[in-house]
């Protein structure tokens, strides 16, 4: 008897999703719990596992809107995939070629599994393989069920670099890059320019449906401006002490914790200290009540190809510098691959966004409802500053706090930024949490 594969509960307030793509083909044999489809919700992409082992029978097409609890496929338990008539050698339909030099014969059994089809790889893995023109058969798999995972591809690229003594070197992030940094050592695919007429009609117009996540972003931005009394206050921070600290200890920090020491951990720690003193910035309005929190779930805005995503560091107040940096790296990777879990996108009480990674010098960030505060970081620029009666060149950053004036007064918002500034300009206070 066939077993249904249904759309699982996708989190609070999410009732439907879009079937983005099938990860397994019609008639493929799938193992129990093996991902077979990818759904797009208004918060994240979600892999749907098979509910049993057997042959997959698809009931929906990519692009279809599906509801929670709806059947998208069935699995024929005990069935085996149909063998091509006349055997593999006599197949009249050749397999889709893989864009790499895969031997036509004499392939080891384990290699034939790895080199089956590029389409069978997970989306993030497939993208890396295709961008770098790799032979999947040459990559040693370590994932569940002997599948190739992203770490296998990254390791393979590193081995290639070491063996030939050359390759693309990932440049270190600029001084302003405290939010999203490079998380893989894979070479960057050179940008391609699509023909100017591709997809446009005779009048030079093209319509592209908005993705669910883009529509959700648009709704929330409009909601924020219609429901909150948004005001922004500014200050500037001298980052000399932090940059000196990073230069002195970054190598030892990386050696000890296996992650780079970026700027975000300093700003996260400073924000936690300031929120502790000004709890209204970490609160929000619910009806006629102000809801306070004795914890900080810190949203970190990440720009992806699909739009702005805000993964959440749960209980950032209890995290060390290393834990913050590790989580940011993990969440940024998952965000770019569209693989954030729904629980990783929920519950933020305060958000930090960094326009400095794109060169922004000053901006007014928009609140993410129902939060009452969002901190904007910007580009670090050397500027002449008056220090103890003398002019010195210092690395300066403008910071902006947008806040809901219904909850936060002007005095609190200005004092919050001053507290943040004091902590960042004297990092010892962050270590001592004073």
200 inside domain: no
Look up tokens 């005990």; give the residue: 78
Q: How many domains does the chain have?
A: 3
Q: Does residue 188 lie in a domain region?
A: no
Cα 54 from Cα 267, distance rounded (Å) = 50
Report phi then psi at 202, rounded to 5: -65, -20
Question: Tokens 């933020």, residue?
Answer: 348
Annotation marks residue 378 as catalytic: no
- pLDDT of 317-365, one tens digit each? 999 999 999 999 999 888 887 777 777 888 899 999 999 989 999 999 9
Which one of 64, 108, 315, 405 is the catalytic residue?
405
Contact 248, 314 (CB under 8 A): no
| Same-domain check for residues 394 and 288 | yes
Based on the fold, state whether residues 78 and 108 are members of the same structural domain: no
Where in the sequence is the domain holding 72, given as residue range(s)?
1-82
Residues 6+ apart with CB under 8 A from 251: none
In the predicted structure, residue 130 carries a pLDDT above the cut 60: yes
Determine, yes or no, domain membership for 41.
yes
Domain-located, residue 152: yes
pLDDT level of residue 15 (50, 70, 90 thresholds): confident
**406 half-sphere exposure, CB direction, 13 A CA radius:** 20
Residues 5, 104, single domain; the answer is no
CATH code at position 409: 3.30.559.10
Please confirm, yes or no, whether 42 is among the known catalytic residues: no
Q: Residue 344 gets which letter from DSSP?
A: G
Q: Are 296 and 350 in contact (CB under 8 A)?
A: yes
Residue 190, in any domain of the structure? no
**Model-wide pTM > 0.75:** no
Catalytic residue among 156, 238, 409, 422: 409
Evaluate the CA torsion angle 141, 142, 146, 152 in order and state its sign.
Answer: negative
Query: Is residue 185 domain-resident?
Result: no
Same domain, 410 and 304: yes
Indicate whether 175 belongs to any domain. no
The answer to whether position 203 is within a domain reads: no
In terms of C-beta density within 10 A (0-12 exposed, 13-18 middle, 19 or more buried), how is residue 335 classed? buried
SS3 content of the chain, % helix, strand, coil (to 5): 35, 20, 45
pLDDT tens for residues 258-312? 999 999 999 999 999 999 999 999 999 999 999 999 999 999 998 877 777 889 9
Q: What average pLDDT does this structure show over 414-418? A: 97
Q: Give the helix ranges, DSSP H, for 138-211.
A: 150-164
Query: DSSP 3-state assignment of 103?
Result: coil
- Same domain? For 3 and 144 the reply is no
Residues 105 and 73 grouped into a single domain: no
* Whether residues 136 and 256 fall in one domain: no
314, 399: one domain: yes
From the number of C-beta atoms within 10 Å of its C-beta (0-12, 13-18, 19+), residue 149 rates as: middle
What's the CA gap between 139 and 123, in Å, rounded? 16
> Which tokens hold the place of 8?
């699982």
> Residue 4's domain is classified under what CATH number?
2.40.50.100
Domain boundary among 82, 107, 133: 82
């Amino acid at each position: 008897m066939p077993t249904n594969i249904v759309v699982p509960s996708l989190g609070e307030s999410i009732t439907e999703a879009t079937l983005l793509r099938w990860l397994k083909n019609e008639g493929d044999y799938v193992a129990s719990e093996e991902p077979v489809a990818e759904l797009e919700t208004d918060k994240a992409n979600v892999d749907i596992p098979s509910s049993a082992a057997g042959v997959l029978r698809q009931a929906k097409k990519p692009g279809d809107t599906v509801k929670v609890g709806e059947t998208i496929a069935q699995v024929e338990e005990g069935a085996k995939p149909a063998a091509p008539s006349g055997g593999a050698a006599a197949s009249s339909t050749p397999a889709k070629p893989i864009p790499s030099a895969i031997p036509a014969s004499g392939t080891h059994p384990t290699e034939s599994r790895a080199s089956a089809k590029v389409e069978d790889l997970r989306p993030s893995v497939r993208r890396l393989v295709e961008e770098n023109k790799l032979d999947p058969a040459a990559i040693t798999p370590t994932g569940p069920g002997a599948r190739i995972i992203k770490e296998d591809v990254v390791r393979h690229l590193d081995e290639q670099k070491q063996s030939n003594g050359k390759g693309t070197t990932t440049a270190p992030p600029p001084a302003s890059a405290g939010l999203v940094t490079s998380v893989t050592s894979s070479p960057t695919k050179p940008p391609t320019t699509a023909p100017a007429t591709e997809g446009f009609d005779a009048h030079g117009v093209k319509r592209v449906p908005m993705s669910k996540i883009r529509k959700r972003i648009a709704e929330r931005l409009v909601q924020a401006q219609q429901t909150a009394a948004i005001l922004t206050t500014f200050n500037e921070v001298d980052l000399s002490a932090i940059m000196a600290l990073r230069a002195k200890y970054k190598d030892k920090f990386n050696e000890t914790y296996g992650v780079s020491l970026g700027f975000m951990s300093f700003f996260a720690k400073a924000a936690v200290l300031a929120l502790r003193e000004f709890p209204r910035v970490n609160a929000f309005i619910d009806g006629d009540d102000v809801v306070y929190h004795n914890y900080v779930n810190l949203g970190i805005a990440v720009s992806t190809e699909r739009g702005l995503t805000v993964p959440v560091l749960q209980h950032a107040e209890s995290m060390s510098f290393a834990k913050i940096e590790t989580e940011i790296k993990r969440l940024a990777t998952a965000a770019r691959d569209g693989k954030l879990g729904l629980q990783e996108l929920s519950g933020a009480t305060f958000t930090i966004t960094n326009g400095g990674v794109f060169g922004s010098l000053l901006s007014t960030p928009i609140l993410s409802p129902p939060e009452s505060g969002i901190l904007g970081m910007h580009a670090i620029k050397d500027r002449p500053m008056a220090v103890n009666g003398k002019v010195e060149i210092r690395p300066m950053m403008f910071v902006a706090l947008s806040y809901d004036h219904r909850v936060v007064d002007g005095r609190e918002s200005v004092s919050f930024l001053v507290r943040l500034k004091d902590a960042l300009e004297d990092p010892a206070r962050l270590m001592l949490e004073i």
